[in-house]
Structure 1
Amino acid sequence: MDGIQLEIMWSNLISIVSEQAKALQRIAFSPIVREAGDLATALFDSEGRMVAQAITGTPGHINSLAAAAKQMIAIIPPEDIYPGDVLITNDPWLSAGHFFDITLLTPIFRNDKIIGYCGSTIHHTDIGGYGVGAGARDIHEEGLWIPVLKLYERDKPNDTLHKIIRRNVRTPDAIFGDLGAQTSSGRIGGERLNAMCDRYDLADIDELAEEIISRSEKATQDAIRDITPGTYHGETSFDVPGGEIITLKTAVTIDPDAGEILIDFEGSSAPSKLGINVVMAYTHAYSTFAIRSVLNPDLPNNAGSLAPIKVKAPKECIINAQYPSPVNARHVVGMYVPFPILKALSQVIPERTLAEGSGAVWTIQVQGHDQEGKPFTSSMFNYSGGMGARATKKGLSATCYPTGVSAVPIEVLEASIPIEFTCKELLPDTGGKGLYNGGDGQKIGFRMRSGAEWALNAIPSRLKTQAEGLEGGAPGAAGGFQINGVASNAAKKIAMAATDEVLMMTPGGGGMGKPA
C-alpha cells in the first residue's frame, strides 16, 4: 500500500477511535470516566484484531480490550451477529480483570457484511456485591457476573438482561447511563468508519488492517533485534492491605532470532486470600505496556505490535488468578507488574527505564445515605504517589504510573456525593534522592457531611515498603493511612461513624543515580 495513502487513512482511524473516546467521556455518568479517563476505546478488524486505539485510556483497559474482542466473537460468532446488536461482558478472565470493568463490542456492517468492530471498556460505579475492595472471600461475593451476551438485539434492548442488571446494582441509573454512553460511542465509531470507506471507495478495511498490523509487527521485531540478546532478571516487593508482602519476579528473555520478548513470572508470590489476585489478561496488559513504553513507544499499539511480546506465569501465582479467586482489587498488584520488567531492562537499555514508583493508585470508594436518606455509592476515586525518577529527569509528583488515569477533581466529588475534603497538597521531599530525585507523594484528607454512618473501601499499598531507587538512587518514602489520626491498614470494608476523618499520605518514587 502506498505510504502516503496509508498515513492518511491511519490518521482517519486514529480520529475515529479518539472521537469514540471523547463521545464516551462527554456522555458518561461516572466521574472516573468523565473526569479521570478510566476507559479504553479501540477499533478491530473483521477477525477481532485490534487495529487502532484512542489516545485516551489506561493500559490495563486498552491491552485487555485487545484480547477481549477475539474471545467475545469466539463465543458469539459473526454468523449469529446482526445489525443493531451490541455484545457485552464483564467476565474477568475474558476482559479487564474484575466485574466493574464492562466491555461492549459493536459490530460495524457495510452492505450486510461485518467489516469490523468498535469496542470500549470502562469502570462502572457499582456492580453490586462487595464494592471496590479486597475483602471478598471468592469471586461470587464480588458482584454481578455478566457472561458474553447481547445487550441489544437488532437495535432492541435485551429486556431480560437489562432487568437482571438493574435489580443487582445499587445505582442502576448510573450504570445504564454509562452503558448508554458506551453504546452511543460504538455507533459513532461505526458511522465514521463507513464514512471513511465511502470517502476512499473501500468495500471493507481488510487490506488496510492487514497492512497496519503487519507493519507494526515487523517494526516491533526490528526494535527487539536492536537489544542485546539474553535473559535479564528483575524483582520487586511491596505491601498490600493487611500488611501482606507480595513479591513479583521476572525473567525477560530477548530473542532476536525469533524477534520476540518472553516475560516469565516464575517465582512470584502465591495467590492471596484477599481480592487482589490478577487474571492473566490484566498481567499481560501491563507487561506489554512496560515493554512497549521502552522499546519503541512511537509505534501504533495494536495486534501487530503486541504479538511479539509473550507473557507466562505459573498457575499457582498471584498474577495468574484461577477461578474462583477474588479479584475486585486486582490493580493493587497488577499495577506493580511493570517494575520488575523495567528493572530487568535497565541492565540492557538503562537510558530508557526508570526507578520504581509508588505503585498502584490508592483507590477509595464510599457508600452510605445522604442528608435526604437516599443511598449513594461513589465512583472509585484514585490518588497516586510519586513516579520513579527517569534516566535523565526527575520523577513526576502525584502522577499515576503506570495506569495514567487522572484524579477526579475534588470539586466534582464534592458536588456529586456528600463528601468534604479537608486538605490536598504535595508532600515535599518524599521522593527518593538521587542524581535525579523521585517524584513526591501527596496528602489528602476527607470526611463525609451526610451526618450519618457510612462505609469505606480503601486500598492503600506501600505503607511499610519503599519504592527502590535505581543506579544508587535512594528509596522514596513509605505512605501513611490514618482514620482519626490512628494508623489503619484494614483489608476489608470499614464501618465509619458520621464524624470520622480519613487522612492519606501517598508514597514517594525512587531516585535515579547517586546524588551529585
Structure 2
Amino acid sequence: MDGVELQILWSNLIGIVSEQARALQRIAFSPIVREAGDLANGLFDEQARMVAQAVTGTPGHINSLAAAARNLLAHCDADSLRPGDVLITNDPWMSAGHFFDITVLSPIFRNDRIIGYAGSTIHHSDIGGYGIGSGARDIHEEGLWIPPMKLYDAGQPNETLFAILRRNVRTPDALLGDLGAQVSSGIIASDRLNALCDRYGIEDIARLSEEIISRSEKATRDAIRKLPGGTYHGASHFDVPGGEVIELKTAVTIDAEAGEITIDFEGSSGPSAMGINVVPAYTHAYATFAVRSTLNPDLPNNAGSLAPIRLKLPDSCVVNAKYPSPVNARHVVGMYVPFPILKALAQVVPDAVVAEGSGAVWTVQIQGRDAQGKPFTSSMFNYSGGMGARATKPGISAVCYPTGVSAVPVEVLEASYPIAFTCKELEHGTGGAGRQPGGDGQRIGYRMRTERPWILNTIPSRLASGPEGLDGGMPGSKGVFRINGQDVTDTRKREMQPGDEVFMITPGGGGYGAA
C-alpha cells in the first residue's frame, strides 16, 4: 500500500477509536471511567485482530482487550451474528482479570457482512460480592460472573441478563449506565468506520488491517534484532496487604535472529490465598507494555507489534492464576510485572528503562449510606506514588506508572460521594536519591460525611520496604497507612465509624545512578 494512502487511512482509524473513547467517557456514570480513564477501546478487523487502540486507556485493559475479542468470538459463531448484536463477558480468564472489568464487543456490518468489531473494557463501580478488596477466599465470593453471551440480540436487550445484573449489584444505575456507554461507543465506532469506507471507496478494512499489522510486526522484530542476543535476569520483591512478600523473577531471552523476546517467570512466588492472583492475559498485558515502551514506543500497539513477545508461565505461580483462585485485586501484583523485566532490559538498554516505582496504585472503595439513607458504592479510586527515575530525567511525582490511569479530582469525589478530604499534597523527599532522583509520593487524608457506619476496602502495598533504585540509585520511601493515627497493615474490608479518619502516604520512586 502506498505510504501516503496508508498514513491517511491510519489517521482516520486513530480518529475513530479516539472518538469512541471520548464518547464512552462523556456518557459514563462512574468517575473512574469519566474522570480517570480506567478503560480501553479498540478497533478489530474481521479476524478479531486488534488494529488500533485509543490513546486513552491503561495497558492492563488495552492489551487484555486484544485477547478478549478473540476469546469472545471463540465462544460465538461469527456467521450467526446480526446487526444490533452486542457480546459481553467479564470472565477473568477471557478478559482483563477480574469481575469488575466488563468487556463489550460489537460487530460492525457493511452491506450485511462483518468488516470488523468495536470493543471496550471498563472498570465498573460494583459487580456484587466482596468488592474490590483482596479478602475473598475464592473467586465465587468476589462477585457476579458473566459468561460469554449477548447483551443485545439484533438490537433487543437481553432482559434476563439485565434483570440478573440489577439484582446482584448494590448500585445498578451506575452499572447499567456504564454498560450503556460501552454500547453507545460501539455504535459510534461502527458509524465512523462505515463513513471511512464511503469516503475512500473501499468495502472493508481487510487490506488496510493486513498492511498495518504486518508493518507493525516487522518494525517490532527489527527493533529486537538490534539488541544483543542472550538471556538476562531481573527480580522484584514487594509486600502486599497483610505483610505477605511477593517476588517476581524474569528471564528475558532475546532471539536477535528471529526478532523475538521470550519472558520466563520461573522462580516467581506461588499462588496467594488472597485475591491478588493474576490471570495470564493481564500478566501478558503488562509484560508486553514493558518491552514495547522500552524498544520502540512510537510504534502502533496492535496484534502485529505484540506478536513477537512471548511469555512462559509456571503452572504454580501468582501471575498464572488458576480457577478458582481469588483475583479481584489482581492489579496489586500485576502492576509490578514490568519491574523485573525492566531490570533485565537495563543490562541491554540502560538508557531506555526506569527504576522501580511505587508499583500498584493504592485503591480505595467506600460503601455505605449517606445522611439521607441513600446507598452509595464508590468506584475504585486510585492514589499513586512516585515513578522511578530515568537515566537522564528524574522520576515523576504522584503518577500512576505503569497503569497510566488518571487521578479522580478531589472535587469530583466530594461531589459524587459523602466524603471529605482533610489533605492531598505531595510528600516531598520520599523519592530515592541518585544522579536522577525518584518521584515523590503523596499524602492523602479523608473522612466520611455520614451518620452511619461505613465500609472501607483499601489495598496499599510497599508498607514494609520502598522501591529499589537502579545503577546505584537509592530506594524510595515506603508507604504509610493509618486509621485514626494508628498504623495498619491488615487492610481487608472493615467497618468504619462516622468521624474515623484515613491517612495515607504513598511510596516514593527509586533513584537512578549514584549521586
TM-score after normalising by structure 2: 1.00
Aligned residue number for residue 374 of structure 1: 374
Is 1:36 the counterpart of 2:36? The answer is yes
The answer on 1:444 being equivalent to 2:444 is yes
Letter in 1 for 2:107: P
SS of corresponding position for 1:69: helix
- Give the equivalent residue in structure 1 for 2:495: 495
Distance 2:466 2:248 in 1: 15
* Aligned-residue RMSD, C-alpha: 0.5
Structure 1 segments, 4+ long, off by >6 Å, are none
What is the alpha-carbon distance in structure 1 between the residues aligned to residue 449 and residue 166 of structure 2?
28
CA distance in 2, matches of 1:489, 1:455: 17
Correspondence for 1:166: 166
Distance 2:491 2:399 in 1: 24
Output the CA distance in 1 between the equivalents of 2:465 and 2:318: 19
> What is the match of residue 184 of structure 1?
184
Which SS does the other structure have where 1:326 is aligned?
A: coil
Q: Which amino acid in 2 is paired with 1:443?
A: R
Can you list the C-alpha shifts for 1:390-442, whole angstroms capped at 9, x where unaligned?
Answer: 11000000000000001100100000110000000101110000000000000
Q: CA separation in 2, counterparts of 1:490 and 1:409?
A: 27
Distance (whole Å) between structure 2 residues aligned to residue 163 and residue 76 of structure 1:
23
For 2:24 and 2:77, locate their aligned partners in 1 and report how far apart those are by CA, in whole Å: 26
**Conserved 8 A contact 1:237-1:465:** no
- Secondary structure in 1 matching 2:333: helix
Q: Is 1:274 aligned to 2:274, yes or no? A: yes
Q: CA deviation at 1:452?
A: 1.1
Match of 1:114 in 2: 114
Counterpart check, 1:472 vs 2:472? yes
Question: How far apart, in 1, do the equivalents of 2:170 and 2:489 lie?
Answer: 26
SS at match of 1:12: helix
* CA distances 1:321-377 after superposition (whole Å, capped 9, x unpaired): 000000000000000000000000000100101100001000000000000111110
* 1:316 paired residue number: 316
Can you list the C-alpha shifts for 1:38-91, whole angstroms capped at 9, x where unaligned?
000000000100000000000000000001101101101211211000000000
Match of 1:455 in 2: 455
C-alpha offsets along residues 242-294 of structure 1, whole Å, 9 cap, x if unaligned?
00000000000000122100000000000000000000000000000000000
Between Structure 1 and Structure 2, how many residues are aligned?
515
Is the CA contact (8 Å cut-off) linking 1:274 and 1:491 kept in structure 2? no
Paired with 2:26 and 2:466, the residues of 1 have a C-alpha distance of: 38
Which residue in 2 is equivalent to 1:264? 264
Contact 2:225 2:258 in 1 (8 A): no
CA–CA separation in structure 2 for the residues paired with 1:62 and 1:452: 39
Q: Structure 2: which amino acid aligns with 1:310?
A: R
Distance across 2 between alignment mates of 1:384 and 1:468: 17
Question: Counterparts of 1:203 and 1:193 in 2: how far apart (Å)?
Answer: 10
Name the SS of the counterpart of 1:210 in structure 2: helix
Q: 2:424 aligns to what SS in structure 1?
A: strand
Consecutive unaligned residues in structure 2, runs of 5 or more: none
Could you tell me how far apart the structure 2 residues matched to 1:491 and 1:97 are?
21
Q: Tell me the distance in 1 between the aligned counterparts of 2:193 and 2:452.
A: 51
Question: What corresponds to 2:48 in structure 1?
Answer: 48
SS in 2 for 1:403: coil
* Counterpart Cα distance in 2 of 1:290 and 1:235: 14
The answer as to whether partners of 1:87 and 1:152 remain within 8 angstroms in 2 is yes
The amino acid of 1:295's aligned partner reads L
* Identical aligned residues as a percent: 72
| Aligned residue number for residue 7 of structure 2 | 7
2:79 corresponds to: 79
Q: Within 2, Cα distance between the matches of 1:384 and 1:48? A: 34
- Return the TM-score normalized by structure 1: 0.99
Report the 3-state secondary structure (helix = DSSP H, G, I; strand = E; otherwise coil) of the residue aligned with 2:402.
Answer: coil
1:312 Cα deviation after fit: 1.6
Tell me, yes or no, if the aligned pair for 1:45 and 1:205 is still in contact at 8 Å: yes
Counterpart for residue 401 of structure 1: 401
Question: Which residues of structure 1 form unaligned runs of 5+?
Answer: none
